Chains A and B, each alone.
Chain A
Amino acid sequence: MKTKSEKFVEEKRESWKQLLNLIRKINKKGIRELDNEEAELFPRLYRKTCQDLAEARMLELSPDVLEYLNNLTGQAHHLLYFIKPLSRKELSDYFMKILPFSLVKNIRFIVLSLILFWGSAAGTYLAVLESPQFAERFVSAQILDYIEDMYREPVSTGRTAGQKAQMASFYIQHNISIAFLCFATGIFLSLGSIYFLLYNGIFLGSIVAYLTASGMGPHIWEFITAHSFLELNAIAISGAAGIKLGISLLKSWQNYSLDYLENSKGDILSLVSASAIMLFFAALIEGNVSPSALQYQFKLAVMFISVIVVAFYFFIYPFNKRGGK
């Protein structure tokens, strides 16, 4: 006599085999290579096999049958529910309806992060201006010497187009990676992000003050004016994303539920993308405009334009949109 399990398998094995063959085919060639008939058959077979799995569990059939059905449907499941490609509509919605709202929506984190960064920068600036040797507490003497050498002459040293391109792409790689790190270390209960915000603020404050004290103020200001608004605030925004990540993690722990983390994922990502986009443009400016021989007024104008664009996209536009509803 056959066991219950054996009868069950004999009765249904044909449709399982069909499903397995489709899984093989999709693994080899991708789901888009199925013909119409197969594309219709696949979800049907999947659902039928899921029913078989449920029935087999109820009947308490042999463990190898249960495992086979579990693996079969489990693998079919992630082939059937593959990642949806982003449509053009979703992409434009992201830039029109989600990204511009991210700063306002998370304004508490943004403000906190800006205070940490600019506060530490301003504090260090004033302290170092008062007594320049104070800078050596934060920045090694070697780096100070190096930077002093760099700004001894005015920055507009007539770089070639190639040099400018090289510097711009270096800044893209370097600065965006730093912003990502500043965000990612927020996982340590926000502490990593806070550390990076303070560290960058202190570093910036001491260097600018040190150079100003040694009489090279105009040179450094001329260099950083055009890109600094975008670049520095972008770092602060990535820090805000990191702080939010840490806080959501903490809340999730307190409430024994990962929902907090899950629900803040979208906001966190929007902040990081806002930061990366700003840094991308900042790098282009830093590579091409900041070191150029253009007049200072022109560099100042570039900064004002970036302020206006950021203010419009992240503040005025979302407020108007909200008011209009």
Chain B
Amino acid sequence: MKQKKLVIETPEKIIFTYNIAEIGTRIAAYLLDIIFQMIILISLFLLSGLSLVSSDIYDSESGYYFLAVIYILLFIFQWGYFLFFETILNGRTPGKKICNIRVIRDNGERLDFQSIVIRNLLRSADSLPLPFLNILGGLTAVISKQTKRLGDYVAGTAVVTDSLFMLDEPDFETHINSRENIFVLKPYCDRKLSEKDLYILRKFINEKDQMPEKSAEKTAEKIVEKLRKIYDISMISNKSDFEIIEEIYKAHIYENKK
């Protein structure tokens, strides 16, 4: 599936593109959050229940108080868990943090408490027709261009990928060492390739060994076809597509080194 993008413009007029979180990732984060809630609730029950085990929990004065606490806890967890964490963790819950996703405003503004409350109140509509399963919200997200459930639409929020793994500094190294043929090709490099073209060449040179042979050949063919439109490569036409790509990249990189 193609990566969905969210383009926002901040109030300072800076444009960012975010990667919309995949629906599978969101489901995983949701399940993790549900599990965390259950763990906390069950451990609370066990802790408070231990002293009540001897007496009959459901028909004693302390038993009634115990149930009173349970109802309140259920209420707090049902409505408060996501609200609390998305507020203090700035758009994340423990589950979202593990899954590297984050809630943001889709208009570029600062995430605010109001939007968080709205998107979480709407959970009760998203979870129709069966509680906790988020069937309707899931369907809406699948149809939606930006994987939004109903709560996201109303609150004006989107869930995006937010991971330090996305922060690898660009690497300009290639695996070409030989400088053969550079000077032969030099005259053909007068019309320069754009930075984007060079990126495509570099990426292909670095990744072709990891690609399946067939698709590497096909990609090379396409690239050479484009190069043919820019250069007269008859001089090296006896070479394979892979070699042509490497030669031309080299000629660019080592152009002025005489």
- Stretch in A1-9, A150-158, A203-211, A295-303 touching the partner: A1-9
Report yes or no: B111 in contact with A173, Cβ–Cβ below 8 A.
Answer: no
Let me know if B71 and A166 touch, CB within 8 A: yes
- State in angstroms the CA–CA spacing of A53 and B72 once bound together: 50
> Are B64 and A162 in contact (CB-based, < 8 A)?
yes
From B91, B168, B196, contact of A62 by CB (8 A) = B196
Alpha-carbon gap, A6 to B199, bound state (A): 11
CB of B232 to closest CB in A, whole Å: 22
**Per a CB cutoff under 8 Å, which of B123, B166, B172, B199 touches A71?**
B166
**Contact A166 B75, beta carbon cutoff 8 Å:** no
Check B91–A165 contact: CB distance below 8 A.
no
The secondary structure that dominates the B interface is helix
Contact A78 B111 (CB under 8 A): yes
Chain A interface size band reads 35 or more
Given contacts A83-B113, A173-B71, contact A60 B195 (CB under 8 A): yes
A 58-85 contacts with B by CB, 8 A: 59-65, 68, 70-75, 77-79, 81-84
Pick the residue among B61, B102, B252, B254 that contacts A162 (CB under 8 A): B61
Which residues of chain B come closer than 8 Å to A160, judged between CB atoms? 61, 64
- Chain A CB within 8 A of B135 CB: no
Asked whether any CB of chain A lies closer than 8 Å to the CB of B16, the reply is yes
Check if A147 is an interface residue, CB within 8 A of chain B: no
A17 to chain B, nearest CB (A): 8
| Nearest CB of chain A from residue B26's CB, rounded to whole Å | 17
B170 CB to closest chain A CB (Å) equals 4
- Whether the pair A184, B123 counts as a contact (CB closer than 8 A) is yes
Contacts of B123 in A (CB 8 A): 184
The minimal Cβ–Cβ distance linking A111 to chain B, given in whole angstroms, is 23
Known: A1-B254, A75-B167, A172-B75. A82 touches B90 (CB 8 A): yes
Chain A: which residue is nearest B160 at the CB level? A74
Q: Is the CB of B195 within 8 A of A183?
A: no
In the complex, A180→B122 CA distance in Å? 8
Residues 21-62 of A, flagged 1 when their CB comes within 8 A of B and 0 if not, give: 001100100000000000000000000001001100001111
The stretch from A113-121, A266-274, A308-316, A317-325 touching chain B is A266-274
CB-CB < 8 A to A269: which residues of B?
114, 117-118
State the CA gap A258–B148 with chains docked (Å).
15
CA distance A82 to B155 in the complex (A): 17
Give min CB distance, B30 to chain A, whole Å. Answer: 17
* Chain A interface, >50% SS class: helix
B169 and A9 contact, CB distance less than 8 A: yes
> Please, which residues of chain A bring their CB within 8 A of the CB of B172?
2-3, 5-6, 9
Q: Which residue of A lies closest to B256 (CB)?
A: A1
Residues of B within 8 A of A79 (CB): 90
- Across the interface, which residues of A come within 8 angstroms of B63, CB to CB? 162
**Which chain B residues have a beta carbon within 8 Å of chain A's beta carbons?**
10, 12, 14, 16-18, 60-65, 67-69, 71-72, 74-75, 78-79, 87, 90-91, 102, 104, 107, 110-118, 121-125, 128, 150, 153-156, 162, 164, 166-170, 172, 194-196, 198-199, 203, 252-257
**6 A–B contact pairs at CB < 8 A?**
A2-B172, A75-B162, A86-B113, A181-B124, A261-B154, A265-B114
Given contacts A2-B253, A3-B252, A161-B61, 18 further A-B contacts (CB under 8 A): A23-B164, A54-B14, A61-B195, A63-B196, A63-B199, A68-B170, A71-B166, A75-B164, A77-B10, A79-B90, A82-B110, A84-B112, A162-B65, A165-B65, A166-B65, A169-B68, A185-B124, A265-B115
